[in-house]
Amino acid sequence: MQRLKRFASVIPALIREWRACARLCADPQSALQLGLDFALSRFLLISPLNRVGRIRQIRFQEGVQLCYRLNKGDLHSIREVWFDEAYRLPFEDPSGTLLDLGANIGLTSVWLAKRYPIERVIAVEPDCNNAMLARRNLELNAIESEVLEAAIGPHEGTARFESSKISNLGRLSEKGVPVAMITVDMILEKSECPRLGLVKIDIEGGEQQLFDGPLDWLDRTNAIIIEFHPPLVDYSRIIKAIESRDFTYIRSNSVFRNNMDCFKSTEGS
């Protein structure tokens, strides 16, 4: 009885997902694969274990190709980024270099590069399995890019990263495995990038440590889109730190429904 009730409760969501698959996918095979995976992801306990985590490749409209795994995290990211367009920007189109902090499997990098006049992507991701898929997704879509397998932070060194079975919930933690930590200033120097057109940040609470550190890199940044994690950070302190560098804060849901928290430099060009 409980399984029947659970199944009935997710039917409306599944219908929305299947409709989005039909609308966005370039062929029936891709739509069927993605739609079935969304259904399976809601019932992974009864899905064959040999199917969980297997890499799929699908085609979206306008020549976009995406790889993902049968994993709640990967599918949530597809839903958030491609179905809901969570990273739609509430200001004029950014151009130049995108720095993606917490790139996961590269879905947001690809979406932003296809939607806006992004010329280059620098993606930072500490999970080796996610980073591998991010490289593959960026290469499949012929996006000039570099994927750095590291954590972002306020100083160079070593951090500990705790991965998760749900692929988009990994985070820095004392329980994690050692990973390299790099800084934005280091990235700018080594990539010979004079200015960042857009910085996307989704680092599961690591934003507090990042913005408590040196912030000179903000002087070379035009815009930021960020997902805050209020239970883990003092987001009002982060907002003040960014605003102090001549950024205008655009609050979530203030321009259109579900726009994310953003910042726009008053001096960016």
Task: For 93-152, write each residue's pLDDT tens digit.
Answer: 999 999 999 999 999 999 999 999 999 999 999 999 999 999 999 999 999 999 999 999
pTM to 2 decimal places: 0.92
Question: What span, in angstroms and rounded, lies between the C-alpha atoms of 199 and 201?
Answer: 6
Q: Tens place of pLDDT for every residue, the chain, 269 residues? A: 665 666 667 788 889 999 999 999 999 999 999 999 998 887 754 444 445 578 999 999 999 999 999 998 999 999 999 999 999 999 999 999 999 999 999 999 999 999 999 999 999 999 999 999 999 999 999 999 999 999 999 999 998 888 878 787 777 778 888 999 999 999 999 999 999 999 999 998 899 999 999 999 999 999 999 999 888 889 999 999 999 999 999 999 999 999 999 999 997 54
Residue 87 neighbours by CB under 8 Å, 6+ apart: 81, 108, 111, 112, 200, 225, 260
Domain-wise residue ranges, the chain: 2-82, 85-265
Question: What span, in angstroms and rounded, lies between the C-alpha atoms of 53 and 210?
Answer: 31
pLDDT at 231: 84
Q: Which CATH number fits domain 85-265: 3.40.1010.20, 3.40.50.150, 3.40.640.10, 1.10.1740.10?
A: 3.40.50.150
Helices 128-140, 107-115: inter-axial angle, 10-degree rounding: 30
pLDDT at 40: 87
Residue 65 neighbours by CB under 8 Å, 6+ apart: 57, 58, 59, 137, 140, 141
Phi and psi dihedrals of 156, rounded to 5?
-80, 150
